Structures are given as structure tokens and as C-alpha cells.
A and B are shown apart, each in its own frame.
Chain A
């Protein structure tokens, strides 16, 4: 029963990791950009949540209605103002510019909010639980998991069923031809980043309700998201969810063996899958 419990809890944790990964996967899919600052943007979302909830007294989940659009705007501005200039055949500029951005975000947050760990106050939601078949499940992890399902389902639908998704796929396939067909790729990239940071905001708020956070934890969140993307296979959103779940289960089982092994077990699971299936479990695109 203990092991079953670890697996179920790990699956639910995987929902959060899939949310970390979804934004990363989206922008890689559309513009082949890997954003090193992604983890710090998740943390930025959590801190924006902290500011809004302490200033207005709103519940963190309600604050999402303010923070998702705010992060979307930040994303659009970031892409049009800075990141679009780095895109090209050379891999180095986007990598180094987002690395610089990561340092700026981390130290900016440190300057504004200090290094003290913070937490979002979600009242009774934090401790509420339901009993299902003898297992006690936290309401928040269950909610997180279903949010992850909804977000990934929504992104999948958007990609394949809407004009915006068609535009995303078009610039992803061939930027120049998409441009000739009347799409402004700079604008499309801006929208993709806006959408990605909207998802990131959701991830940040759920992270902030679940655990305490401080400005330095961004790198770790980036790595979890990245591992979920690679385990699942590049360009496959549902694969990313599976990747997140595998990572989550590996961590909870590792923690069950020895608390010091939680993170290590996740990384080892990732390296094993990389060794056995270099393209991930369900690859859709090859780079």
C-alpha cells in the first residue's frame, strides 16, 4: 500500500512538472528556442502571485485571472523587445541571452523580495484531502493534476484546431514561407511566448501554494521541466505529461527509499531513459 501510495502521489506531482514543461515545450516547438530563464519565470509568476494576494487579499487561484494576462504581456514584450533579435541559425545568442535574463530575474527578485522563503496562502485548500480507496489524496495535488490535463488538452486543441495553432505550426515548419503567406513571424513568436508565460504563471502559482519558494529555485524547476520534455519526446505535449509523471514517480519512490535520494532518483530516471531511448519515449519531431 505504501508503494502504491508513492506511485499515486508521484503521478500527481508529475502534473506539476508537466506544467513546468508545457511552456518550454511550446516555445521550443514554435521557434526552436530553449529558454534558460524558464525556471526563473515560473518563480516570477509565484512572486507576482504573492504581491497580488497580499495587496488585494484575493485567493491565489482567483489571482490567476490577473497574473496569467500579466505574464502573457511580459512574454509578448520580452519576445518582441529582446528574444526575436536572437533568433537565427546560430544557437549561441538565444542561449546566452536567456542565461543573462535568468541572472537578472534571480537577482532582481532577490533585491525586491529578499532571500526569505515565501509561500502563497491558499487557506484550507493547502491541507484538504479526500480518501479514495484507502489512499489519502491532497485536494491541491489532485487539482494540480487536472489543471495540467486541462492545460495540455487545451494547448493540443489550440495547436491543431484553431487559426492561431495553424499559424504556430506554419512558422514552426518554415518561417520564410509562413512570412510569404502573410504571417508576421515576429508577432506569432510574441504570441507563442505570451501563451507559454501564461501557462508558466499557472505553474508558478500552483508551485507557490504547494511549497515555499525563494529567488534561487528557478534553475531546479527548469531542470524538472526539461527532463519531462526529453523523457516524453520532443514536440509531443501528451508525451511531456507522461514524462512529468515518470519524473514525479521516480522522485517519490526515491524519497521513500531515502529522503536524500528524492532529486537524485529523478535525475537518474532521466539519464536511464536518455541512455535507452535517446529521443524520449514518444518522439514526434526530430530536430
Chain B
């Protein structure tokens, strides 16, 4: 039992296998427009956008302790910016998506200065007030259709791609790209120095502060980056829908309640959780959606039961049971020579 016999590593065989499988799945997904039907493509596109929203919410709530019930503010803001930039500034939709993200970051700075004054649960409701302010403000802008909203002009839709098939493929790839971008950024961020600070804050805010981590600043950076990316996802969502209205854009049910369910069911505070949660959520939705309100009742009950009985969600359970990690954040001690183990 020499210390030289051991090594500190982040990888394991399971992670290597998962990485290879993940790569194969990703290639298959990129090729989906060539093998999947139109309806499946739309469903998968929606799934990827929800995965991106859930990963972002998880970064805020699960790691930075910023529990927001007002992320619809940035989804709607991004959507409206896409419409405004393409209709009034004549921008092509794809650069408009990026610009919407930048504007989302800009607007989130004063918002953060205001609502960071609220602690804990009051912060959560404060974010909701902000979303309401956004909704009511956009409902006042008559050039964007006021309270009844507006549709994206056909010329702008056509500027994306000539044929309908090409447009749907492009919109699918954008959604897939957004999900991959968000999950990868969250992963890379959490492995960085700032990410380590964030994990420390999650585990114990007081101790992290005493080690010299600037808590306010770390949370602020997370909030601004999350808002920017959420605004980009919002722009993508409404590029798919082609129609926007204040009630749809700033819907607390669509953009926050469902996202929270996904994260809670999948496992909050893990990268894998939102992925599992999104799959569970869409499986439930596709099988139960015909039941209408009953489906939402079931979702509410499932979320409460999971929160009370399995607070770490599905992935937390798996990780505890099998000591498995697909996105390696933690280090582990392993024997140098695996044959001896």
C-alpha cells in the first residue's frame, strides 16, 4: 500500500464508454434530417431547446443557488428581440439570434443589480416580477403587435432557406447546436477555476466566502451568462414558432414550470440530471398530453413526490447506487495498476 500505487484521475472506463456512445448518438442526431420524419424532427428540435433551458436553469439553481421562477423574462425577451431585429433592423435571423443573446446580457445587468438585493425565496418571486414587467412592457409596444402579438413576415422566414424542408432541417440543427453548446459550456465552465468556486459556494456559501471567493461577483457572472444564453434559446424557440405574443413569450408555465420539473425529476445540481429529466418529461408528455389538465396535475404530484422522497432526482439515485458519472467533474483516487484491484 504505497501512495505511489494510487493516482488521482477524473476518468474511468464508464466515462470512456459513455464518451464513445455519446459521440455515436451525436453523429446520428446530426444526421437526423436524413432519417427522421418531419414531425419527429420538430419534436426533437423542441426537446433540444428544453434541454438547453433546463441545463441553464440547473446551472443557476443547482450550482449558484439562484432559484429563479422568472427565466421566461429572458426567453420572451430573446424571442421579441429576434422579431424586432429582423423586422425593423433588417438583420438576417441567424446573426439576430446572437445579437438577441448580447442584448439579453446587457439587460440582465441592471436586473441583477436590482433583484440581487433579495435573498432566497424572495429572489425567486422578484425574478417573476421582472418577467411580468417585461411582459407588460412588450404588450405596450404596438409596432410588435401589442397584446395580441405578431407573426414573422414571410420574406424573413424565406431568407433562412429556400425550401420548407431545408428550413426545417436548419432549424433542427440550430436547436441541436444550441443544446450541445449549452451543455458543453456548462461542463467546461464547471471544470474551470470559476466553476470550482461555484461548486464551493453551492456546498457552503459561508466557507467559500471565507476562502476568498467573491460570492456576489461569481453569482452575477452566472446570472448574466445564463440570461444571455436563455435569450438566445428564446430567439430560437420563436424562430421555430414563427409567431410571438406577450402571453406565449412570457409564459411562466411553459418556460419555467416545465423546466423546473425537468431539472427536479432528472436531478438538480448535476449535468446529467437535465438530460435525463428532459427525456422523462417528453416521454410523459407524449403519452399523457391527451389528458390535458390531468397531465399537469400528474406532473405537479410527481415533482412534489420526487422533491420530498428523492431530492437528488433520478440521476442522483443512479449515481448513489452505481457510483457513476458521465460528465466527470469530481476527481477520484484509483489504483495505478488496475489488474491488481
Supposing A34-B125, A91-B67, A278-B117 touch, asked if A85 and B293 sit within 8 A by C-beta, the answer is: no
Interface residues of A in 235-281 (CB under 8 A from B): 260-261, 263-264, 267-268, 270-271, 274-275, 278
Interface residues of B in 280-297 (CB under 8 A from A): 293-294, 296-297
Q: Is the CB of B133 within 8 A of A85?
A: no
Supposing A227-B129, A275-B114 touch, asked if A104 and B308 sit within 8 A by C-beta, the answer is: no
* Residues in A whose Cβ lies below 8 Å from that of B65: 91
Q: Is the CB of A271 within 8 A of B114?
A: yes
Q: Is the CB of B132 within 8 A of A93?
A: no
* Residues in A whose Cβ lies below 8 Å from that of B69: 36, 99
B84 contacts partner chain A, Cβ-Cβ < 8 Å:
no
Q: Is the CB of B137 within 8 A of A95?
A: no
Supposing A96-B264, A101-B304 touch, asked if A36 and B299 sit within 8 A by C-beta, the answer is: no
A108 contacts partner chain B, Cβ-Cβ < 8 Å:
yes
Query: Which of A101, A107, A261: most chain B Cβ within 10 A?
Result: A107
**Besides A34-B122, A263-B136, A270-B129, 15 new A-B residue pairs in contact (Cβ under 8 A), listed by A number:** A36-B121, A36-B124, A91-B65, A91-B121, A100-B300, A100-B304, A102-B300, A103-B257, A104-B300, A107-B296, A223-B128, A226-B125, A264-B137, A275-B114, A287-B120
Q: Is the CB of B125 within 8 A of A264?
A: no
A1 contacts partner chain B, Cβ-Cβ < 8 Å:
no
Query: How many angstroms from the CA of A96 to the CA of B128 in the assembled complex?
Result: 14
B158 contacts partner chain A, Cβ-Cβ < 8 Å:
no
Query: How many angstroms from the CA of A84 to the CA of B141 in the assembled complex?
Result: 45
Interface residues of B in 250-283 (CB under 8 A from A): 252-253, 257, 260, 264, 268
Q: How far is the CB of A233 from chain B (nearest CB, A)?
A: 12
* Residues in A whose Cβ lies below 8 Å from that of B332: none
Q: Is the CB of A219 within 8 A of B129?
A: no
Q: Is the CB of B129 within 8 A of A267?
A: yes
Where chain A touches its partner, the secondary structure class is helix
Q: Is the CB of A103 within 8 A of B299?
A: yes
* Residues in A whose Cβ lies below 8 Å from that of B121: 33-34, 36, 91, 94-95
Q: Is the CB of B128 within 8 A of A82?
A: no
Q: Is the CB of A104 within 8 A of B297?
A: yes
B61 contacts partner chain A, Cβ-Cβ < 8 Å:
yes
Interface residues of A in 206-226 (CB under 8 A from B): 219-220, 222-223, 226
* Residues in B whose Cβ lies below 8 Å from that of A97: 304, 307-308
Q: Is the CB of A110 within 8 A of B293?
A: yes
A12 contacts partner chain B, Cβ-Cβ < 8 Å:
no
Supposing A34-B124, A36-B125, A274-B117 touch, asked if A103 and B296 sit within 8 A by C-beta, the answer is: yes
Query: How many angstroms from the CA of A94 to the CA of B115 in the assembled complex?
Result: 20
B180 contacts partner chain A, Cβ-Cβ < 8 Å:
no
Query: How many angstroms from the CA of A85 to the CA of B301 in the assembled complex?
Result: 15
Which residue from chain B places its CB closest to the CB of A278 in the assembled complex? B117
- Selected from A92, A102, A220, the residue in CB contact (under 8 A) with B67 is A92
Q: Which 4 A-B pairs have the closest CB atoms?
A: A34-B121, A104-B300, A103-B300, A278-B117
Total A residues in contact with B, Cβ cutoff 8 Å: 43
Q: Is the CB of A107 within 8 A of B293?
A: yes
Q: How far is the CB of A244 from chain B (nearest CB, A)?
A: 15
Q: Is the CB of A268 within 8 A of B308?
A: no
Q: How far is the CB of A28 from chain B (nearest CB, A)?
A: 8
Q: Is the CB of B296 within 8 A of A264?
A: no
Q: List 30 A-B contacts (CB under 8 A).
A: A33-B121, A34-B121, A34-B125, A36-B124, A86-B307, A91-B65, A91-B120, A91-B121, A92-B61, A97-B304, A100-B307, A101-B304, A102-B300, A104-B301, A107-B294, A111-B293, A111-B297, A222-B125, A230-B122, A260-B139, A264-B133, A264-B136, A264-B140, A267-B129, A268-B133, A271-B129, A274-B115, A274-B118, A274-B126, A287-B119
Q: Is the CB of A111 within 8 A of B294?
A: yes
* Residues in A whose Cβ lies below 8 Å from that of B178: none
Query: How many angstroms from the CA of A59 to the CA of B126 in the assembled complex?
Result: 37
Q: Is the CB of A85 within 8 A of B308?
A: yes
Which residue from chain B places its CB closest to the CB of A93 in the assembled complex? B307
B33 contacts partner chain A, Cβ-Cβ < 8 Å:
no
Q: Is the CB of A99 within 8 A of B257?
A: yes
Supposing A95-B67, A99-B69, A223-B132 touch, asked if A108 and B297 sit within 8 A by C-beta, the answer is: yes
Taken residue by residue from 109 to 151, chain B's Cβ proximity to chain A (1 for < 8 Å, 0 otherwise) reads as: 0000011011111101110110011001101100000000000
Taken residue by residue from 26 to 47, chain A's Cβ proximity to chain B (1 for < 8 Å, 0 otherwise) reads as: 0000000110100000000000
